[in-house]
């Protein structure tokens, strides 16, 4: 099973992205997207931003669950107080596990934000952040 994670800033700009696969059932953690699909991931995820824009005003929860579909892929979303969006492209529905993943991701995001040298909407390039996201992916997905 493959996943694509994107963190999108308040100005709809990309802050971070990662594609990975599951470690469960003998998976090795690398995504199995075909090249075509892999190339499309950012676009797919980006187009669901419009849906988020509408839904976020009627739903005051952070975890918006599945908000969009693309063929057999689902897109789940989580929106922070500061309007930063976590988007996950995945294959099977798993609301609760994905929510926990997003909550821990939020924790990582806030730690990044707390540094005075990181500005809101800036791309996250820290290798440690990347490492920690992968650990979360392994833990939950």
Partner 1 sequence: MSKLPTPSRASSDKSSSHPGFAVRSSATSSSLASRRATVYDRNMNRRAPDLALSTFAFLFSEMVQYSQKNVKGVQEMENRLSAYGYHVGQRVLELATVREIKNAKRETRVLGLLQFINTTIWKAIFGKVADALEKSKDQEDEYMIIDNNPVANSYISVPKELSSLDCASFQAGVIEAVMDGCQFPAKITAHSVPTELYPLKTVFLVKLDPLVIEREKYMR
Partner 2 sequence: MAVRTPRQIGEDVWKTRIEKVNAELVTLTYGSVVAQLCKDFTNDYIQVNEQLDKMGYNIGIRLIEDILARTNSERCRSFKDTAEMISKVGFKIFLNITPAILNWSQDNKQFSLIFDDNPLSDFVELPDDGKAINELWYSNILCGVLRGALEMVQLQVEAKFVSDVLRGDDTTEMRVTLIRVLEDEMPVGDE
Interacting residue ranges for partner 1, rule: CB under 8 A: 6, 8, 10, 12-14, 16-20, 29-31, 41-43, 46-47, 56-58, 60-62, 79-84, 103, 106-116, 120, 123, 125, 127-132
Q: How far is CA 105 from CA 2, 85, 98, 121, in A?
A: 18, 11, 10, 16
Pick from partner 2, partner 1, none: which does 97 bind, CB < 5 to 8 A by kind? none
Give least dist CB 93 to partner 1, A.
22
CB 56 within 8 A of CB 87: no
Residue of 23, 100, 126, 134 that binds partner 2 (CB under 8 A): 126
Give least dist CB 4 to partner 1, A.
8
Is 132 among the residues that bind partner 2 (CB under 8 A)?
no
CB 59 within 8 A of CB 104: no
């Amino acid at each position: 099973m493959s996943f694509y994670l994107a963190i999108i800033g308040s100005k709809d700009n990309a802050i971070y992205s990662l594609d990975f696969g599951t470690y469960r059932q003998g998976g090795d953690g690398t995504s199995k997207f075909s090249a075509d699909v892999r190339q499309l991931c950012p676009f797919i995820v980006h187009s669901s931003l419009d849906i988020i824009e509408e839904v976020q005003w009627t739903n005051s929860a952070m975890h918006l669950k599945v908000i969009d579909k693309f063929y057999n892929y689902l897109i789940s979303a989580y929106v922070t107080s500061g309007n930063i969006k976590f988007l996950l492209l995945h294959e099977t529905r798993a609301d609760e596990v994905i929510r926990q993943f997003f909550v821990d991701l939020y924790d990582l995001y806030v730690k990044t934000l707390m540094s005075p040298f990181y500005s809101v909407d800036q791309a996250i390039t820290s290798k440690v952040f990347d490492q920690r996201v992968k650990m979360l992916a392994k833990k939950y997905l």
